[in-house]
Amino acid sequence: MSQVNVKSNKDAFLEDLSALISIPSTKDASQAKEGAPFGPGPLAALEKILEMGDRDGFRTKMLQGYAGYIEYGPEDAEDYIAVLGHVDVVPATGKWAHDPFTAHVENGTLYARGAIDDKGPTMAAYYALKALKESGAPIKNRIRLVIGTDEESGCACMQKYNELEPMSLFGFAPDAEFPLIFAEKGQIRAWIKLPQTVGDAPVHISSFYSGERINMVPDHAYAILAGTEAEKWSAHAQAELKAKKVPLTVENTEQGIKLTVKGQSAHGSEPAGGVNAAFLLAAALKELPLIPTEQAFIDLLADTLTNDFGGERLGIKYHDDVSGELTVNVGVIRFGEAGGTVSLDIRCPIKASLDELTKTLTASVEKLGLSIGELGTSKPLYMDPKHPAVQILKNVYEKHMGLKNVELLTSGGGTYAQYLDAGVAFGACMPGYPYTGHQVDEHVKVDDLLLASEIYADAMAELGNLEK
């Protein structure tokens, strides 16, 4: 059982975590530069945790602003175990009860952006490394806490890390749920291209805007209506929305009448768990007498994509016995007179062919008279549950929880574990507690983070002696 006691460092843990949370580390491509490839926020958060590593006597290294690491163990050891966390966060959209970038603890629960995704779990892993160092437990492999800065927007940080550093013997990402995730779905990220608007009508959509990240269910959407009959058709749309009790605000702008609706955010891997604001707004605009290009856009949202979380209307519905159903999230929508894009975040079961799904998706979109612009894929993750390292993590978890024969999990979420030759996702969300990453008022129990930290410390001690 545990050789360490992380809970005795609770005050220091919260102080360090609060400092990390206070940095608004969302990606800002407009301010990207050499040494800060994702903007100043993610870099500042990375620098902060590396400073902690220096303070506490670890070996640290900055990797061109993409990632960094904090390392402990025999410096001349041939192999290392990777623990992969990230300090970038998604935008804090919606109305929060407290400042999302100030750690607020109430009744033992920590509220903040990054509380569970992934600053809280990353700090739990860091304090586990500290506890392992203080325990003096003998290990033969190095333990390396790798910190990324672009997990929420494409993982370019891990691609760069793998270019610059050797592959680990094994690793885990504290960025999901306990007991352990041995299989993660593959991903297709596609942007449907919308043509430039051509023609005239008594009402037209000057602008349609929804969502901030492809892997979030958008909790807001607005459309600006212009034209000689904008007022008439705006009133029609308002009546539709009010009848469905959709939260709505209306304002007159220089561009036209702006209708803004509210939905409910959720993680893009579980789109049915949220309320997509773009779908609500598109449905209210369906009967407007629009020009064909604008009508094609609204039809795409309202008829093809609305609540089709399994991709059936796109012809890509798929299920397997390992990881379940394919899911589709419509995360970012931008449309105006110059055309625009609609993003799709598609989580694909382990046994699905990404190539075949991509071909089918492309054909389905072309049948609608549209096209696919940018497109990217990520391979699925599968680790044999009987792998010795997987069994080590399972056994450590069971001992701490007083359980036996726990059932290992599969997930629609993608973690850094996909960038390892051998690795899994391991915590930190405890069973039975809601996972609130990407949501308003994101939160986690402080004691759950501390328990996760003790689990991680023992796991590091065990994996520190993993044989090749």
As annotated, the active-site residues are 88, 151
Q: How far apart are CA 17 and CA 115, in angstroms?
A: 9
Q: What is the 3-state secondary structure (H, E, C) of 23-64?
A: CCCCCCHHHCECCECCCHHHHHHHHHHHHHHHHCCCEEEEEC
Is-contact 448 428, C-beta < 8 A?
yes
Decide the pairing of beta strands 170-173 and 80-86.
Answer: parallel
CA angle, residues 458, 417, 451, in degrees to nearest 5: 30
Three-class secondary structure of residue 123 per DSSP = helix
308 Cβ contact partners less than 8 Å away, ≥ 6 residues apart:
314, 328
Q: Long-range contacts made by residues 99-107, C-beta under 8 angstroms, separation at least 24?
A: 100/442, 101/21, 101/22, 101/23, 101/24, 102/18, 102/21, 102/22, 103/14, 103/17, 103/18, 103/21, 103/22, 105/14, 105/446
Per the structure block, which two tokens stand in for 264?
Answer: 């409910």
Taking CA atoms, 189 is separated from 80, 105, 163, 301, in Å, by 32, 36, 23, 17
